[in-house]
């Protein structure tokens, strides 16, 4: 019979996926809402549809495999996974409440890794022996690389679009860019679903292995991806309006042309990271892309004070989540 703790872990993982959806909804709808191409309700519905559509395309689960191997198998228990999820959910809700666009990907990695390290320490082993250091370093490197790649691609796309449309009538161009923004927003939502749903798939998979219900991480039961894509899509439909405001208006004022460029750049960047199995942050990626379109206008068009505040959240997410994960695991070990 399936254990109670495994059921709790799976429920928590699905809850995290749902929270990830409404926490990250702003990433794919902020520009399309701020440019008034779609109403907020239609935007979240549009994003949710393409979040789920990714289920039919991303079938190799490379990102899920990376997440599943963040903590080495001998240090993975249901208690470790439970503690990591509690830490990740706690940090996600905290940053959502204060409207901070932090990374759901990194809080999950941090919480899981931190609880695994704490478990190793409780066993008397070196905490660093519990984690896949090369995988962690690759993930951390994309805290810097993802927004930079998004920024560079968005600058290139913006300049290309400006040159191609410089002889167009403004009213005609505006009409076309609003239509194209529907496509670029859909592309970003599609890439977001494909990247972010897989992270929770990896967590549920290792929980099933730890619980003895799946032989190894090479065998993914079909209900796991289906459930995760559904959860993140439903979460997206719930929206995340505080973060929408930060992403859509506080970094820089975005026009439909710039929205197309930023969303396309974000989708391309996430497609690249998914191809290489890297759990990149959708938040970091689209922020870099929005900054890129702002810089094309002029450097002063970007509100750098807001951007620097976001950078602090990015830097702190993994260590804070790891600390929370470690503390939660320690409390479970000694008091429960």
270 half-sphere exposure, CB direction, 13 A CA radius: 33
Whose tokens are 């495999």? That residue is 65
Give me the pLDDT at residue 53, please.
Answer: 95
Distance of CA 281 to the CA centre of its chain: 4
The whole model's pTM is what? 0.87
Give me the pLDDT at residue 260, please.
Answer: 87
Q: What is the pLDDT along the chain (336 residues), one digit of tens a residue?
A: 578 899 999 999 999 999 888 777 666 677 777 777 777 778 888 888 999 999 999 888 889 888 888 999 899 999 999 999 999 999 988 887 777 767 888 899 999 999 999 999 999 999 999 999 988 888 888 888 988 999 999 999 999 998 888 777 877 777 888 888 889 989 999 998 888 899 999 999 999 999 888 888 788 899 999 999 999 999 888 765 554 554 444 545 667 888 889 889 999 999 999 988 888 888 788 888 888 888 887 665 566 555 666 677 778 889 999 999 999 999 998 887
Q: How far, in Å, CA of 82 to CA of 86, rounded?
A: 6
Q: How far, in Å, CA of 324 to CA of 110, rounded?
A: 9
Q: Are 301 and 94 in contact (CB under 8 A)?
A: no
Cα distances (angstroms) measured from residue 217 to each of 95, 136, 197, 210: 31, 18, 16, 10
- Residue 45 CB contacts under 8 Å (≥ 6 apart), including other chains: 237
């Amino acid at each position: 019979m399936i254990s109670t703790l495994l059921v709790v872990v799976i429920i928590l993982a699905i809850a995290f996926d749902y929270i990830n959806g409404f926490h990250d909804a702003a990433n794919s709808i902020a520009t399309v809402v701020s440019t008034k191409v779609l109403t907020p309700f239609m935007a979240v519905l549009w994003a949710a549809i393409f979040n789920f559509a990714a289920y039919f395309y991303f079938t190799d689960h490379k990102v899920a495999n990376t997440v599943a191997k963040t903590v080495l198998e001998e240090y993975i228990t249901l208690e470790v996974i439970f503690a990591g999820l509690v830490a990740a959910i706690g940090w996600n809700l905290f940053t959502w409440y204060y409207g901070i666009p932090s990374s759901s990907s990194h809080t999950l990695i941090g919480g899981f890794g931190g609880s695994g390290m704490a478990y190793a320490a409780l066993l008397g082993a070196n905490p660093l022996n519990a984690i896949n250091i090369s995988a962690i370093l690759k993930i951390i490197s994309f805290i810097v690389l993802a927004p930079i790649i998004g920024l560079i691609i968005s600058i290139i796309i913006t300049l290309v679009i400006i040159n191609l449309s410089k002889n167009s009538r403004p009213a005609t161009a505006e009409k076309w860019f609003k239509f194209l923004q529907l496509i670029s927003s859909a592309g970003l939502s599609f890439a977001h679903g494909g990247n972010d749903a897989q992270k929770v798939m990896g967590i549920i998979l290792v929980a099933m292995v730890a619980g003895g219900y799946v032989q190894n991480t090479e065998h993914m039961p079909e209900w796991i991806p289906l459930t995760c894509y559904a959860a993140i899509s439903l979460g997206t439909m719930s929206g995340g309006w505080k973060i929408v405001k930060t992403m859509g208006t506080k970094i820089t004022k975005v026009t439909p042309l710039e929205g197309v460029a930023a969303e396309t750049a974000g989708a391309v960047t996430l497609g690249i990271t998914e191809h290489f199995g890297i759990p990149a942050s959708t938040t970091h990626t689209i922020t870099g892309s929005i900054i890129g379109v702002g810089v094309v206008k002029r450097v002063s068009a970007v509100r750098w004070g807001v951007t620097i505040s976001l950078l602090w959240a990015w830097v702190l997410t993994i260590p804070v989540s790891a600390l929370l994960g470690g503390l939660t695991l320690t409390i479970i070990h000694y008091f429960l």
